[in-house]
Structure 1
Amino acid sequence: MTSSTSSEPNSTTPLTCIDCGAPVEQTMAGIAICDDCLSTRGACCQEFGAVDLTKEETKPRAYNSPACAAHLFEEADAIQHITAEHRFYTASGARLDYVRLATEEIKITHTFVPKHLRGKGIAAQLMQAAIQYADQARLQVSASCDYAQVYLKRYRS
C-alpha cells in the first residue's frame, strides 16, 4: 500500500484482502484490500458498493457485480472539514488546504488526491465543498493552487 492510505494495525490477526484473500499490511479507508484487487475493480460497477462501510463491522455485500474503486470508497470517503486547520479532507488521504484572509476571503492553496484515486472527481468534490462553505459564510474564493485556479475559472466565472 502507499503511504497515503490510512492504517489500522492489527497485531493479533493478519489482514487479508476482501477480494482475493492475499495478505494486506494495512487497511485503506477501513477496508483490507490489496493493490492488485483495487486496481482491477473496473471502470464502474453495475450496482453500488461491494462493502457496507456504514456499520462498525465491515462485511462484503452480496451483489451481482464487484464495485469499482470509486464506489468502494464512496461511503467511507465523505468530505470532512476542520475549520481550525483550514482543511477539507477524506479518509483516503485526499485534501484541500486554504487560508482565511482578512478580506472576507478564503484562498485555496493546495489540493491533493492519492495517485490511485485520481481521475474520479474527488478534487472537484473537495472544491465544491470549499465553495459551498465559502458561499454559506459569505466569503469570496480565490486560489494559488493551479488545479483550484482552473476549477474556479471553469465553474465560477
Structure 2
Amino acid sequence: MDLTLGAQSGQADRIEELDRQIAVSEKAITTVMSVTATQAAQMDLSSDRAAELVARAVKPMSAELNQLRKLRNEAVEWQQQTEAAQQRAWDLQALAERARTQMPDMDPEGQAEVIDLIDLKVTIQSPVTVRRGRSACAVGAWFKGCNQYIPA
C-alpha cells in the first residue's frame, strides 16, 4: 500500500527547487549589498547613510528570501507529515492483517484488546438508509408483476 509515492517525489522536487531559489536569492542579496556599499563609499556617504542605502536596496529581496524560506519549511513539514501518515497506514495494514488471521482464534477479551489497540474512530457523516424488503431487481420485478411469491 503506497498512498504517497507520487506526492513525496513531487514534494522532494519542490524542496530541491526552493533550495535552488534560496541559494540564488542569497547570492543576489550579497551582490546587491556589495555593489551598494561600493557605490556608497564612492559617493563618500557616512556609514549610517551607507547602511540605510544598503538596507533599502535589499529590503524587497530579503522579503522574497524570507517567503522562499517559509515555503520551504512548509514543504518539509508537509513531507514529514506525509511520511508519518504513510508509516501509520503501513502499521495499520500490518495490524489488520494480523487481526484477520489471529482474531478468529482469540477469546472475546483478546479481541476487545486488539480493537482497543487499533483505536479506530468512526464518524457517521449522513443518515444510514434502512432497507425495507428486497432490493429491486429484474427477477424480483417479474415475480411481483405476476403476483407471485418470491422464493428465498
TM class by shorter-chain length? under 0.3
By relative contact order (CA 8 Å, sep 6+), the higher-ranking structure is 2
Which structure: greater helix fraction? 2
Which structure: greater strand fraction? 1
**Structure whose alpha-carbon radius of gyration is higher:** 2
